[in-house]
């Protein structure tokens, strides 16, 4: 009996730990991995006592999960269409705010991508090209559009491998399993990747803009911290980080 009591106490201790602190959880598209990490660190420094957790994944998955009651207070999507749809269905507690325009680049671990153009992809020496899954990943959709506009889709289709999200796509290239990939500029600019190779910025004329947007979810509605973080995204510090990672901010011209 004593043992049962002990177990019960231990279990309840495990359950109650994170109940009190002011804390929000942010669901962010995989292309924000490095930028949002930095923004979150900056936010915690300038707002001591507040806690913020960021979860990264594919925008489409978060869109589904939030509708099923996932515990995310803010949702940063790589495609502004997803949060707009959530808002339409009543899952949002704020207006949908655009926060950046994303760019896609060619990136390689084994070749100098800075000297490449899209046409290189048709070269038989390149056996595998990684892109994000165009079926549901915003960066994958834009990659497909760019390849189609460049008239390369049919030539390269048999070489394509599809990452579940843009991070996995980059990881396919980083591990050398695909020689080239079309990934987010924000990832290519991260030191972890940029020390392995340069990038070629794919002209944005070739694809629809990657307009990205975020929203405070219904779950975050009652939390002041969600609003504070939303405001922080417009701050000079946060905007500086976003620019550093190659995002074009709303109301700004591309200047890379």
Q: Which is nearer to other proteins, 81 or 250 (CB)?
A: 81
For residues 200 and 112, what is the distance between their CA atoms, to the nearest angstrom? 9
For residues 8 and 6, what is the distance between their CA atoms, to the nearest angstrom? 5
With H, G, I as helix, E, B as strand and everything else as coil, classify residue 56: strand
Burial class (CB in 10 A: 0-12, 13-18, 19+), 59: buried
Q: Which is nearer to other proteins, 96 or 189 (CB)?
A: 96
CB of 96 to other proteins, least distance (A): 18
Q: 129 and 182 in contact (C-beta within 8 Å)? A: yes
Name the DSSP letter for residue 21. S
CB of 106 to other proteins, least distance (A): 18
Strand partners, 106: 182, 200
CB of 56 to other proteins, least distance (A): 15
Which spans of this chain sit near other proteins (rule: CB under 8 A)?
A: 58, 60-61, 63-64, 127-128, 130, 133, 135-136, 160-164, 172, 175-178
Strand partners, 217: 92
Q: Which is nearer to other proteins, 31 or 38 (CB)?
A: 31
The DSSP secondary structure of 84-150, one letter per residue, reads HHHHHTT-BSS--EEEEEE-EEEEESSS-GGG--GGGGG-TT---EEEE-TTT-HHHHHHHHHHHHT
For residues 39 and 224, what is the distance between their CA atoms, to the nearest angstrom? 18
| DSSP-derived pairing of the beta strands 210-216 and 74-77 | antiparallel
Name the DSSP letter for residue 119. G
CB of 63 to other proteins, least distance (A): 7
Q: Which is nearer to other proteins, 39 or 137 (CB)?
A: 137
Q: Which is nearer to other proteins, 51 or 164 (CB)?
A: 164
CB of 194 to other proteins, least distance (A): 19
CB of 234 to other proteins, least distance (A): 30
Q: 176 and 231 in contact (C-beta within 8 Å)? A: no
Q: Which is nearer to other proteins, 135 or 240 (CB)?
A: 135
Q: 30 and 167 in contact (C-beta within 8 Å)? A: yes
Q: Which is nearer to other proteins, 173 or 216 (CB)?
A: 173
CB of 175 to other proteins, least distance (A): 5
């Amino acid at each position: 009996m004593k043992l049962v009591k002990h177990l019960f106490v231990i279990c309840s201790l495990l359950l109650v730990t994170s109940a009190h602190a002011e804390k929000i959880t942010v669901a962010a598209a995989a292309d924000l991995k490095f930028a949002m990490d930095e923004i979150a660190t900056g936010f915690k420094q300038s707002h001591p006592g507040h806690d913020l957790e960021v979860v990264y994944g594919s925008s489409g998955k978060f869109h589904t999960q939030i509708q099923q009651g996932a515990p995310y207070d803010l949702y940063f999507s790589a495609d502004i269409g997803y949060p707009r749809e959530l808002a339409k269905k009543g899952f949002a507690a704020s207006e949908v705010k655009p926060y950046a325009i994303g760019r896609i680049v060619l990136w390689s671990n084994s070749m100098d991508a800075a000297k490449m153009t899209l046409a290189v992809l048709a070269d038989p020496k390149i056996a595998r090209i990684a892109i994000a899954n165009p079926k549901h990943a915003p960066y994958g959709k834009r990659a497909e559009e760019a390849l189609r506009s460049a008239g390369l889709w049919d030539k390269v289709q048999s070489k394509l491998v599809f990452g579940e999200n843009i991070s996995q796509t980059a990881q396919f290239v980083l591990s050398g399993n695909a020689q080239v990939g079309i990934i987010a500029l924000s990832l290519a600019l991260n030191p972890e990747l940029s020390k392995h190779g340069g990038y070629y910025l794919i002209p944005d004329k070739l694809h629809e803009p990657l307009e990205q947007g975020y929203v405070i979810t219904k779950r975050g509605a009652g939390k002041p911290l969600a609003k504070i973080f939303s405001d922080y995204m417009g701050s000079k510090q946060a905007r500086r980080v976003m620019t550093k990672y190659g995002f074009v901010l709303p109301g700004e011209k591309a200047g890379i």
